[in-house]
Amino acid sequence: MVNESPWIRPNRPWLKNRPEGIPKTLNYPNLEGFHCFLKKSAKDFPNNVLMFFPDRNEKYTFYETDYYTNVLSNAFVKELGIKKGDGIAVMTPNCPEYVFTAYASSQTGAILIPINFLYKNKEIKHVIDKSDIVKVFIADEHFFRNAKRGAKESSIEQIIKISSDNPDELTIQKLLEEYPPVPSKVDIDIWEDLGAILFTGGTTGLPKGVMLTHSNLIANALQYYNTGAAGSWQGSVEESIKTYGTGRTLTCNPLCHGMGFYILNVTVLAATTLILYSRFDPGEILKMVEKYRLTTFSGIPTMYNFFINHPDFKTRDLSSIELCASGAAPLPPKIAKLWKEQTGLKVINAYGLTEVTCMCTMAASWEDINPISISFPVIDTDAKIINPPDYITELSPGEHGELLIRGPQVMKGYWKEPEATKETLVKDENGNIWVRTGDIATMDKNGFFYIVGRLKEMIKYKGYRILPAEVEGSLHANPTVLECAVIGVPDPDEVVGEFVKAFIKLKPEFDGKISEQDIIDWAKKNIAAYKYPRIIEFVGIIPKTPVGKIDRKALRLKELKKRKRYNL
């Protein structure tokens, strides 16, 4: 097979079923910056609603969003002295001003540095000190004190609130009222200049700053809409573009996180209406799907689990949804099956990480969606399975190893962390750069990829290597289990290595009626002898990271402290 993409090795198995006429590569435009997506959509669809905030009953069209972006970029330069390469830190919940700031930052050539509003002082200080380029720090008034404490002793020139009751205080709202909408003009090399530094979640330590160029952000958004994902592919890029301006979607993801920022960019590119909801409330979201006739929805497995267990799931009209996707972790087969039985739709498992901007695999419309697979790499993206530290020799189909990704969406590196960059970005025999994902995966003979666990979360029991996600997926088949999380705990006698321990939140109707031994007995019958959990603990809450992933690090730390306290 002739392969036209400069990013992909020829004869990859996932290319063989690609229909004739569908391009194998994209011509990426040499735009002025990622803010150009907003410029184009504001020109083509000025009166379409870009963002709607149900909690505030507030909405902004593409024209209005571009207008305020121009105002703010002008104010950044004239009032705050922002220059190309300066850092603009933003710590707010989802709000219009965050969106204005993101695209205004791009227009000025500044580097956007989102800070999770759930961060504590230590984490805020780490991001500010580590980035070391923040000139202006914008914070929601509710988190202003945390911002000031975290930025203490830094070189930040201005810490600005979104709004204030004090008319003499400089705020974003005041800047939006006082400056004209004159867009900044600056020369940006999209292939080299950074558009954003996104700090990772820090599951293995303090967050690292992922350097994303403008071209990374532009390429990944275009890859989503031009690979056949989104179910809108009609056979050519031109036909796909005809669907722009017609979609409606919703997110609870914080825009300060990589996935939330990515969702914002792809909706702006395709002139999609984005409903930004402040919290995850399964009943309210099901209601909004029906009320606003949402066409797409993307979430994480935890969300789908709560949907199918909500009493409104079988009564709400969900027929407007054309595509639903899941990411961040494997979706348990039972949940995927129940969702399909009710909606008629298979949930597409997408996969990505901040180091590849956001996304690198997702089902295309011509594929037979496999609910337990993360499917094929998106256009212009290559993937391979290796056995570290050999980053060149590829494993055969069916073998488990670390997943590596190559493509135009791969980060430039970690900000001011050359050793971590060297460890994560590796070269093949031709000098091509691949990013190590840290995920254990396998590929079948047809090119479908499957994530089976995290390299650093693997449990070692009697010489066996056990992946927590695999055990969790099996436990979800138990009708009494609402949520669960699995970790390895040390064997105090140092005989077996680690025991598998499961933290389980029962469905309310089973509280007090099911014992730990009941779960173990069930697991013995339904899970392989070396995999089933030897220890069960019932909990009221399964801890999550700020983006909804199971926080196994928190569970391990809690378990180790308990064992030390009681000398276990």
Identify the CATH number of the domain in which residue 147 sits: 3.40.50.12780
247 plus 231 within the same structural domain: yes
- Residues 127 and 230 both lie in one domain: yes
Q: For the chain, give the percent of residues with pLDDT over 90.
A: 56
Task: Give the residue from 394, 426, 453 where a domain finishes.
Answer: 453
Q: Tell me, yes or no, whether 519 and 404 share the same domain.
A: no
**Matching residue, tokens 């330069």:** 77
The pLDDT assigned to 27 comes to: 83
Residue 70, domain member (yes or no):
yes
- The verdict on 62 and 205 lying in the same domain is yes
Ranked by mean pLDDT, the top range of 27-36, 114-123, 511-520 is 511-520
What pLDDT, on a 0 to 100 scale, did the predictor assign at position 355? Answer: 96
d(CA 246, CA 251): 17
316 in a structural domain: no
Query: Do 383 and 516 belong to one domain?
Result: no
The token pair that represents 540 in the structure block: 């009221």
| Residue count (the chain) | 568
Same domain, 20 and 132: no
Question: Contact, 237 vs 226, CB < 8 A?
Answer: yes
Which DSSP state fits 550? Answer: B
- Let me know if 151 is exposed, middle or buried by CB neighbors in 10 A (0-12, 13-18, 19+): buried
The whole-number pLDDT of residue 1 equals 42
Domain-located, residue 336: no
Same domain, 383 and 466: no
- List, for residues 162-188, the tens digit of each pLDDT value: 999 898 899 999 999 999 999 888 999
Determine, yes or no, domain membership for 329: no
Q: Tens digit of pLDDT for each residue in 23-63?
A: 778 888 888 999 999 999 999 999 999 999 998 899 999 99
CATH code assigned at 500? 3.30.300.30
Question: Closest by alpha carbon to 342, among 289, 387, 300?
Answer: 289
**Does residue 120 lie within any of the structural domains?**
yes
Domain-located, residue 81: yes
Assigned token pair, 123: 């984490």
Last residue in a domain, options 426, 453, 480: 453
Q: How do residues 358-416 score in pLDDT, each as one tens digit?
A: 999 988 766 777 777 888 999 999 999 999 889 999 999 999 999 999 999 999 999 99
Asked whether residue 1 is assigned to any structural domain, the reply reads: no
Sign of CA dihedral 229, 232, 236, 239: negative
Q: What is the pLDDT of residue 80?
A: 95
Q: State how many domains the chain has.
A: 3
147 in the same domain as 123:
yes
497 has a pLDDT exceeding 90: no
Q: Which secondary-structure segment (H or E) carries 413?
A: strand 413-414
The whole-angstrom separation of Cα 7 and Cα 223 is: 13
Q: What domain range includes position 198?
A: 36-279
Is position 295 within any domain?
no
Cα 396 from Cα 100, distance rounded (Å): 48
pLDDT value at residue 494: 64
pLDDT at residue number 565: 65
Say if residue 478's pLDDT is above 80: yes
Q: Is the alpha carbon torsion for 422, 425, 428, 432 positive or negative?
A: negative
Lowest-confidence pick of 14-28, 87-101, 257-271, 290-304: 14-28
* pLDDT classification of 482: cutoffs 50, 70, 90: very high
Do 447 and 480 lie in one domain? The reply is: no
Residues 92 and 18 in one domain: no
CB 225 within 8 A of CB 37: no
Report pLDDT for 325. Answer: 86
At which of 257, 279, 301 does a domain end? 279
135 shares a domain with 106: yes
Task: Say if residue 201's pLDDT is above 70.
Answer: no
C-alpha angle with apex 391: 386 to 393, nearest 5 degrees?
A: 65
The strand pair at 323-326 and 348-349 is best described as parallel
- DSSP, collapsed to helix, strand or coil, labels residue 306 as helix
Residues 90 and 193 in one domain: yes
Q: Looking at residue 236, what is its pLDDT?
A: 47
As a whole number, the mean pLDDT across the chain is 88
pLDDT tens figures, 228-253: 544 343 344 555 566 787 889 999 88
The enclosing domain of 361 has a CATH number of 2.30.38.10
Q: Which residues of 544-561 are buried (b: 16+ CB within 10 A; e: fewer)?
A: ebbbbbbbbbbbeeebee
pLDDT confidence band for 452 (50 / 70 / 90): confident
